[in-house]
Structure 1
Amino acid sequence: MQKLTHWLNQGRFHKHAFKPHFENNIFVRHEGDKSKPALLLIHGFPTCSYDWQPIWDSLSPHFYLITLDMIGFGYSDKPTDFPYSFAAQANLIEDVLTSLDINQVHILSHDYGNTVSQELLARNNDAKQKQTPPCFEILSCLLLNGGIFPEVIHPILIQKLLLSPIGFIVAKGMGYDAFKRNFDNICCINIDDIELRKYWQLIQHNQGDRIFHKLIQYMKERVEHRDRWVGALQQYKQPMRFINGLEDPISGHDMLKRYQELITDADTISLNGVGHYPQVEAPEQVLEHAFSFWKSHKIMT
């Protein structure tokens, strides 16, 4: 099992100005041959880019890999006065890819990262309508479990509590044992305790417990911007696949069914016996279906 220090040492910190004269440090990791297709990996809530560690080495021979800890997550800064939003995270990703001189990218995203992907897709659509070039073109999109359709999300108790007026108290009072119980609840295949403690360490880094209740507001934002973000998926004409762990109590079977109802010619993969974190619970299955998707569209050979 990889040590966190190794993951940290393989990355760097990108300075991003969210407002004039004020920069935040954002952890970014990129690796591989830049002549190969660029693959952007966008993590979920409440974890970070380390989620991609189980499949990273298998992907690296085929892609120029790019990932980051979005603001409020992992090794990145976690300011208490920041207006956390999907638009802000999309702005951050645009800034990082611009700094790397990337203008075309394939996306692999999970959970919270799916909604960031939806906002990026919406921006691509906006640019086409205005007949202006996007910041970068999204050539394909591969989605793992996540709340892409808010009407069929089933939030668990801790999410409801964090979203409530006492969310800041709940966040401060949460310890590792409560975190582990909730993680075990959403994963069908239990994650090793050593790995879970790494996730908890990354959440706690930079006093992450201070902003849990701020980050969780994304659930309201999904409802508010539902038409824009669902429309982004429906209007997307490039290759797209949804891989879903069916035993996920938050966004499992019902989310897959809704995707098939709303997306024309939906390309979906069902993973039986897998929960909310397919790339961690069943990395080999995710790789199998990701590779078949990319090969079928001649994205990789």
Structure 2
Amino acid sequence: MEQQIPGIGGVKAAGRGVATLDAWQQGGKWFSYEGHAIFSRMAGQGEPLVLLHGFPTASWDWSRIWPMLVQSNNVLAVDMLGFGFSDKPREHAYSIEDQADLMQGLLEGLGLESVHLFAHDYGCSVVQELLAREQEGMLPFRIASVCFLNGALFPEVHNPLLIQRLLRSPLGGLISRGLTRRSFERSFLKLFGSKNVPDQRDMDDFWHLLTYNNGRGILHHLIQFMEDRRCHRHRWVSALQNARQPMRLISGIADPVSGAAMVQRYHEMIPEADVVQLKNVGHYPHFESPWEVFSAYRDFRKRQ
């Protein structure tokens, strides 16, 4: 199944009720994971829907689509360990499996029997690990559906930016600690569609989330998720191929990192692949074109 939606210009088309970054933080709560403070937000009514963010950003990525999702879902989003407003311990052994432990523990603690998962980028890998655990009978709750936004579901067709390659190199620590606002913007803006480039205030917010609580100092540790994807490739791709629940990929195909090539690979690897392509949209579809993403997601849920 394949759909194409022509992206409409305007990263500003966010709808009513979109929170500023300050309001986003003030509306959240923190919980403890292995002694670390984890930022979270929950709102809305309906079936539980869990949002998982990407690297190197945070749950605020979802702020433009949040007002739409909470109308018919009980929505939960967290800043995973090392991201956003959550703690960023320097010596922690960051991994996708550890973040999956965090999410599993939170959902189990909430006593949820069934959840829908909506993931972007880094969060896609966390969902793949959770799917694998469910198939192995290791989850105390059911994953009702999964929707992916741009992410490296298949590492062999992932095309990382130069800054990501440098962070993985032996110089990663120096690159991480020495990252400047200018070099961050130069790399980060390459991820967006030409009609949906963030403005200066948006970039202020992205930079604030990245540097909050000494976030620059751990980027070279967080980037090891790229090695996790390579090492667990068979397990995580098998989890997609063996998934029993409805799945959809919504992809901004102007994404230079995990766009059109990832869509093609998804079709090759996933039986009866359900894909929606967004033209002129880059790596952050939910931030760049929130209405198109919401429409595609709402349609996906209505078909279940």
TM-score for the superposition, normalised by structure 2? 0.92
Q: Report the counterpart of residue 102 of structure 2 in structure 1.
A: 92
Equivalence map 1:21-60=2 (5 Å): 23-33=35-45, 36-60=46-70
Name which of 216, 237, 243 aligns with 2:244.
Answer: 237
The worse-fitting range, judged by mean Cα deviation, of 286-295 and 173-182 is: 173-182
Is 1:191 matched up with 2:198? yes
Secondary structure at the aligned position of 2:213 is classed as coil
Unaligned ranges ≥5, structure 1:
18-22, 128-132
Distance 2:44 2:279 in 1: 32
Q: Residue 118 of structure 2 is aligned with which of 93, 99, 108? A: 108
Q: For residue 137 of structure 1, what is the aligned residue in structure 2?
A: 142
Residue 287 of structure 2 corresponds to 280
Q: Deviations over 1:152-200 (max 9, x none)?
A: 0011100110010001111111111111111211111211220121011
The amino acid of 1:51's aligned partner reads D
**Aligned partner (choices 113, 121, 125) of residue 135 of structure 2:** 125
1:225 has 2:232 as partner:
yes
Q: CA deviation at 1:113?
A: 0.3
Matched, 1:295 2:278: no
1:239-277 Cα offsets, whole Å, 9 max, x none, are 100011111111011000000000000000111101100
2:155 to 150, 156, 162: 150
Aligned to 2:271: 264
Structure 1: which 4+ aligned runs deviate by more than 4 Å? none
Q: Is the 8 A contact 2:27 2:41 kept in 1?
A: yes
CA distance in 1, matches of 2:228, 2:278: 28
Amino acid at match of 1:84: Y
Tell me by how many angstroms 1:94 deviates: 1.2
The 8 Å contact of residues 104 and 139 in structure 2, kept in 1 or not, is answered as: no
Contact kept in structure 1, 2:84 and 2:209, CA below 8 Å:
yes
Partner SS state of residue 227, structure 2: helix
1:204 aligns to 2:211 (yes or no): yes
- Percent identity of the aligned residues? 42
Q: Give the letter aligned to residue 11 of structure 1.
A: G
What secondary structure sits across from 1:54 in the alignment? coil
Aligned residue number for residue 171 of structure 1: 176
Query: What amino acid sits opposite 1:216 in the alignment?
Result: I
* CA distance, structure 2, for counterparts of residue 97 and residue 217 of structure 1: 25
What is the one-letter code of the residue matched to 2:186?
A: R
Q: What is the Cα deviation at residue 218 of structure 1? A: 0.7
User: Which structure's relative contact order is higher, taking Cα pairs within 8 Å and 6+ residues apart?
Assistant: 2
Q: What's the Cα RMSD here?
A: 1.0
Counterparts of 2:21 and 2:300, CA distance in 1: 30
Distance (Å, rounded) in 2 between the aligned partners of 1:271 and 1:5 = 30
